[in-house]
Each structure stands twice: as structure tokens, then as C-alpha cells.
Amino acid sequence: MPRKATTPRRPPRRTTSGVSAPALDPAEELCARDVTDGLPVVPPTRESVQRALDGVGPVDELIARVQPADEENPMTEYLDPTDSVAVPRKTAPRPPSLDGKVVTLLDISKAKGDHLLDRLEELLRARTGAKAIVRRRKPTFARPAPDALRREIVGATDVVIEALAD
Amino acid sequence: MHDGVFFEDQGIPTATVISAEFRRAATAQADALGAGAYRTVVVAHPIQPLTREEVRALADAAFDEILARLTR
């Protein structure tokens, strides 16, 4: 995500007595410095991770190795902090075509996702026999769609196209 | 990714379109949700600097793959 290079750094916070405040929680500190894009940034410090792990018991299952965006950094490993194994899920059965189907285009509210969805709607109308095309939008890309919206969509559609994560 | 997995659980075929930057995150999330078989449709990253026409071209390029995700 592009960073605003011109954002001025705020002066360090001071307590009302004029003495420098003790080190802030890192998440608060990053927010105070305006270096986030408004979403919470929680650095996985040794202490914070340990605190989380203490709450869930022993962890020994490696669930993923993720290459960071900076290719020069070493591979990061993620451990499953839960004591249960995710139940394998199956995808829904597919229809042979979209003929006669209701297609919901779910906009996740990221900038320019609507351009992509506008074009997909045109293509669906031109190239498929879809019965109806419904446009929905979730309030923020940062969270799953609200339950009410999810239920509404499930009750009124045959397939969903969700876009666009950038 | 959570939405897509939710809809699939409810029997609704879903195509989730992401940009390449999010491929690894999406895969990790899907695995954590037990949805390793869940496949996203990936378009070029980044989106934000693109013009409207360029974004529409991404839709053209991805359309067949989206259809393939939704049908058998």
C-alpha cells in the first residue's frame, strides 16, 4: 500500500506534567505517528505473542510459512495458536453454467474495485444467461461482511463474485 | 477470504478476486480456515494507480477464470 511520504511525524506525546510519557504500547505508538493507514497494526513482539500463547496452552503445529513482501527477509513461520485443527471444508457444488442464475457482485469497498465490478457486470450480461445481477457492497474491506448482509446475500443468490482486494 | 469461505459453506459458489500482492495472505488464511482447496482469481497488483480503463481491462482478462470458478 503506498505510503504518504509527506506525512509529518508528530512530536512525542507528553504527559500533563511535561515529562515524556513512558513507552507507549507499540500499536498505540504506530497509530500516534500516523504510519498506519487507519487499520490496527499490532507488532508481534515476543511479549505479546507469549501473552497470547499463555492463554491457549502449548503450540507445536506449524500451519504456514509465508514469504514476506520484502524478498530479502527470511521466511516467516506461523504457528497455529489454537488447540484445534481446522476442519477441512469443501467448496459448494457448481452449476454447469450461469444460465438462469442470480449472480451477486459483492464490492469489498476498496478504491477502484467498482470499476472492475462494473466491467464484470457488463461481461456477465453480454456473455452469460444470468437471470439477474445484484450489486452489494460491504461497509469495509477490513472485516468480513456483516452477518445480516451475508444472510441476505445467501438467501437471494445462486453465486457470488467478490472483489477486489488490493 | 472469510466471506468466500462462508458463502461456500452455505452452498453458494463464490469467486474471490484478489490482486497478486494478496495471494500469499489469502492462501494462508484459506489454509487456516481449512479451505486449502479454495482458489482465488488473481489479477495484477497494484490496482490503485491504474486508470478506469486499465482496471476494466483486468476484468476482461480475468472473466473466463471467474466463470470457470463458478461453474463446473
ipTM of the complex: 0.92
Q: How many domains does chain B have?
A: 1
Identify the domain containing residue B60 by its residue range. Answer: 2-70
* CB contacts, 8 Å: A2 with chain B: 46, 48
- Which among A80, A128, A159 is the nearest to B13, CB-wise? A159
Assess whether pLDDT exceeds 90 at residue A12.
no
Cell of A132: 439477474
Average pLDDT of chain A? 76
Q: Is the pTM of this model over 0.90?
A: no
Return the domain boundaries, chain A: 26-79, 102-163
Query: Which chain A residues contact residue B67 at CB under 8 A?
Result: 98, 128
Nearest CA in chain B to A110: B48
Distances (CA, A) of A80 to B3, B22, B32, B37: 21, 20, 8, 19
pLDDT at A55: 77
Separation CA B52–CA A49 (nearest Å): 42
Per-residue pLDDT at A6: 47
What the block records as the C-alpha cell of A47 is 511479549
Regions of chain B where pLDDT drops below 50: none
Q: How far is B20 from chain A (nearest CA, A)?
A: 8
> Is A117's pLDDT higher than 90?
yes
